[in-house]
Amino acid sequence: MKNLDKIDHNIVLALDKLIQPFFNSEHTKVYIRPDFRSNETGAEHIANSKHGLKTKDISCIPQIIKSPLTIIKDKRKGKSYFGNRVCGLKKAKYLKIVTQIRPDATEQIVTIFIVKAIKRK
């Protein structure tokens, strides 16, 4: 059963309004994962309150995917895109967008959350 108390439905609505696909700097299509677990969609997972997102942060997603501050390749067949938040609070001023590379060479956004600093390799 879903724990709807932890999901910010305004963020889910903002994610649903985004025009997909997004394109990264290599012109690869990037989508928000349609389903995450059997009991929640990808948008519901991203909207979980523990990720610390605000509705304003959602508007940053296409721009961060297109031209991030940095990209780190993940050992689990994915990437992490880092970019500035719109409402960049001093405590957590960056967004981290984690994607998974699919067999058809597209990417799916697995999760998004705020971070205090960008980890560089």
CA-closest candidate to residue 27, choices 79, 77, 83, 65: 65
pLDDT at site 121: 60
pTM of the complete model: 0.89
Per-residue pLDDT of the chain (121 residues; tens, 9 = 90+): 455 568 999 999 999 999 999 999 999 999 999 987 778 899 999 999 999 999 999 999 999 999 999 999 987 789 999 999 876 556 678 999 999 999 999 999 999 999 988 876 6
- Report the first-to-last Cα separation within the chain, whole angstroms: 39
Q: What is the pLDDT of residue 55?
A: 92
